[in-house]
Chains A and B, each alone.
Chain A
Amino acid sequence: MKKIITFAVALTLFAGAVAGCGADNSSGEADGGSQKAENSQTVSTDGSTSMEKVIGFLSEAYMEEHGDIKVTYNPTGSSSGISAVSEGRCDIGLASRDLKEEEQADLTGTVVAIDGIGVIVNPENPVADLSVEQVGKIYTGEITNWKEVGGSDAPIVCIGREAASGTRDGFEEVTGTKDNCKYSQELTSTGDVVQTVSGNPNAIGYASVASLNDSVKAVSIEGIAPTTETIQGGEYKIQRNFVLVTKKDAALSKAAQDFFDFATSEEADELITEAGAVPVVR
């Protein structure tokens, strides 16, 4: 009998605890809501990991000028950023690809900068120029040896990004290799790709021009090296847009609108260049 009572009491206690948790939770959410209302001086951005540098430079410069406004950045990936803005979890979504048709129904995309996707090889590799078609054939496995594109007799190792990466999406779309690539490694970040290509003399990879460094060599595409002018002018073929995503039906908060205007103004051009991307031509 005593045991039963103990058990019953324990259960009640336990139920109370659980209920308490629930109550805490909901009040927590309410707090979060009111906080957001009070601190409308925070501009939250969320999305593409490739845009980290650009958004970092922009927000830093912006925050220096506007001490009372805080710009946050959550590097989750283009698709995550787009769903975050459409679900109202952030002010501005960041996508390193153009919006899909179904996304355009209630979202607006504004191109803030252009990103050239660099095709990179190991510095030891003699190959310095490839055509878009050759790059495509290399990635689909039609060309498997470097000597077929003017290099030494060595197998080609294709390094790429994971299935849902914005860079991969952009690259495969431009090279016409969508869902056809035969990768030997699918890595989850740009840094990993650069690191792996710099460590393997036979590797080829792709990454935002903004995030390239001296440890790898960016090949020119059809004779055109990835530079600001060639990307802006569209001569360099493998490029994509960096897009700021906003909701169509809901207006931005004052701070967010101000930051948005700043990011798309001429003032921002220099910062975007500093960050390694290419400003849009106005």
Chain B
Amino acid sequence: MKKVKKTARLMEKTMNLIFLACGMLTILFVILITIFLVISGIPAIKEIGLADFLFGTTWASTAAQPSYGILPFILTSVYGTFGAILIGVPIGLLCAIFLAKMSPRGVAGIVRNVVDLLAGIPSVVYGLVGMILIVPCVREVFHLPDGANLFSAILVLAVMILPSVISVSETAIKAVPKEYEEASLALGATKTETVFKVVVPAAKSGIITAIVLGIGRAIGEAMAVMMVSGNVANMPRLFGSVRFLTTAVASEMSYSSGLQRQALFSIALVLFLFIMAINLVLNLIVKRGGESD
């Protein structure tokens, strides 16, 4: 009897260690990636100069006199993400409200499945569809010589962030206590008034989380935007060909060498810092949301 107990305890301890090791492994990966990015990203920044690197407006990495300014990429990524949020969040939020509050039984299930499917589509497929459908459409509709521009990228990104915005805000809206809604309806407010004045404000922190997740998704996307944005390192214009931080790394990495390659690592470092900042904001929101509940 005693022996069995002993084995069980040993087993328990071993498993604990294995769990611990796996947990450590994840941390190790993050630390390794961070160290790698910092070590490989710093030299180029040092050589180019931080200000020239971050605020330089010309990127000509293979020119006879190369210049490595990534301001066009930073601004493009920021504008592109902002545009995608501007279009994607209202659609996603209203869709989430529809799913949580308005939809007839059965329809919600179908829509939810479709949204899940949307989340599962590989980004290269988004890019392909964008390249073959959206780019010519944008060209025709706005009478442009060429449709591969920031606007097309924003459209593609807006669709790509929908799933995360919808599912997270739906959960948040569903978590609002039924009593709030009932009280509002009992006071004579219409369903629409109730949704916008009671439910949405109550679900605020969840919805903000959804938006931040959307930002994270949009800023990190490479493949799809590479296929629709034209990929020229211009300062961003809505209807001009642009290059994002992600695509700057992706499109040159396979060929690059020397300082050019190091500069690409530096771009990756900048992108990494952006994502870190976004995650930090997300953590703060979730933490504060938890406290206020």
Determine if A80 is an interface residue (Cβ-Cβ < 8 Å).
Answer: yes
The B204-251 residues at the A interface (CB cut-off 8 A) are 226-227, 230-232, 241, 243, 251
> Using a Cβ–Cβ cut-off of 8 Å, how many residues does chain A contribute to the interface with B?
36
Contact B231–A185 (Cβ < 8 Å):
yes
* Interface-located stretch among B99-107, B185-193, B253-261: B253-261
- Output the nearest chain A residue to B253 by Cβ-Cβ distance: A164
- Output the nearest chain B residue to A165 by Cβ-Cβ distance: B255
Report if A164-B148 is in contact (Cβ < 8 Å); known contacts: A10-B20, A13-B21, A183-B232: no
The A9-53 residues at the B interface (CB cut-off 8 A) are 9-10, 13-14, 17-18
Determine if A83 is an interface residue (Cβ-Cβ < 8 Å).
Answer: yes
The answer for the CA separation of A156 and B254 in the assembled complex, in Å, is: 29
Q: Mark A159-180, 1 if CB is under 8 A from B, else 0.
A: 0001111000000000000110
The A53-81 residues at the B interface (CB cut-off 8 A) are 76-80
Q: How far is the CB of A202 from chain B (nearest CB, A)?
A: 5
Determine if A235 is an interface residue (Cβ-Cβ < 8 Å).
Answer: no
Contact A188–B226 (Cβ < 8 Å):
yes
Determine if B4 is an interface residue (Cβ-Cβ < 8 Å).
Answer: no
- Output the nearest chain B residue to A10 by Cβ-Cβ distance: B20
Determine if B145 is an interface residue (Cβ-Cβ < 8 Å).
Answer: yes
Report if A185-B21 is in contact (Cβ < 8 Å); known contacts: A77-B254, A79-B255, A79-B257: no
Determine if B16 is an interface residue (Cβ-Cβ < 8 Å).
Answer: yes
The answer for the CA separation of A226 and B274 in the assembled complex, in Å, is: 48
Contact B232–A185 (Cβ < 8 Å):
yes
Contact B17–A6 (Cβ < 8 Å):
yes
Determine if B269 is an interface residue (Cβ-Cβ < 8 Å).
Answer: no
Other-chain contact of A164, B13, B17, B131, B255 (Cβ < 8 Å): B255
- Output the nearest chain B residue to A11 by Cβ-Cβ distance: B24
The answer for the CA separation of A195 and B128 in the assembled complex, in Å, is: 11
- Output the nearest chain B residue to A144 by Cβ-Cβ distance: B145
Contact A163–B136 (Cβ < 8 Å):
no
* Interface-located stretch among B57-65, B70-78, B113-121, B157-165: B57-65
Other-chain contact of B131, A14, A77, A195 (Cβ < 8 Å): A195
Determine if A186 is an interface residue (Cβ-Cβ < 8 Å).
Answer: yes
Q: How far is the CB of B58 from chain A (nearest CB, A)?
A: 11
Contact B257–A184 (Cβ < 8 Å):
no
Contact A186–B231 (Cβ < 8 Å):
yes
Contact A186–B255 (Cβ < 8 Å):
no
Other-chain contact of A187, B231, B254, B255 (Cβ < 8 Å): B231
Contact B60–A184 (Cβ < 8 Å):
no
Determine if B139 is an interface residue (Cβ-Cβ < 8 Å).
Answer: yes
Contact B145–A202 (Cβ < 8 Å):
yes
Contact B251–A6 (Cβ < 8 Å):
no
Point out the residues of chain B lying under 8 angstroms from A14, CB to CB: 21, 24-25
Residue with the greatest number of chain A CB neighbours at <10 A, chosen from B132, B146, B251, B257 = B146
Residue with the greatest number of chain A CB neighbours at <10 A, chosen from B13, B145, B227, B256 = B145
Other-chain contact of B63, A6, A156, A179 (Cβ < 8 Å): A179
The answer for the CA separation of A182 and B256 in the assembled complex, in Å, is: 21
Q: How far is the CB of B14 from chain A (nearest CB, A)?
A: 10
The B11-65 residues at the A interface (CB cut-off 8 A) are 13, 16-17, 20-21, 24-25, 28, 60-64
Determine if A203 is an interface residue (Cβ-Cβ < 8 Å).
Answer: yes
Q: How far is the CB of A141 from chain B (nearest CB, A)?
A: 12
Determine if B182 is an interface residue (Cβ-Cβ < 8 Å).
Answer: no
Point out the residues of chain A lying under 8 angstroms from B16, CB to CB: 6
Report if A185-B24 is in contact (Cβ < 8 Å); known contacts: A162-B231, A164-B252: no
Determine if A155 is an interface residue (Cβ-Cβ < 8 Å).
Answer: yes
- Output the nearest chain A residue to B228 by Cβ-Cβ distance: A185
Point out the residues of chain B lying under 8 angstroms from A155, CB to CB: 145
Point out the residues of chain A lying under 8 angstroms from B28, CB to CB: 18
- Output the nearest chain B residue to A18 by Cβ-Cβ distance: B28
Contact A188–B62 (Cβ < 8 Å):
no
The 8 closest A-B pairs by CB, nearest first: A164-B255, A155-B145, A179-B63, A186-B231, A185-B230, A163-B62, A157-B146, A77-B255
Residue pairs across A and B with Cβ atoms less than 8 A apart, 7 shown, are A79-B257, A162-B231, A163-B252, A184-B146, A200-B136, A200-B147, A202-B145
A→B interface (CB under 8 Å): 6, 9-10, 13-14, 17-18, 76-80, 83, 154-157, 162-165, 178-179, 183-188, 192, 195-196, 199-200, 202-203
Known A17-B21, A186-B232; further 12 A-B contacts with Cβ < 8 A: A17-B25, A18-B28, A83-B257, A156-B145, A157-B145, A163-B61, A179-B63, A183-B241, A186-B243, A192-B131, A192-B227, A202-B146
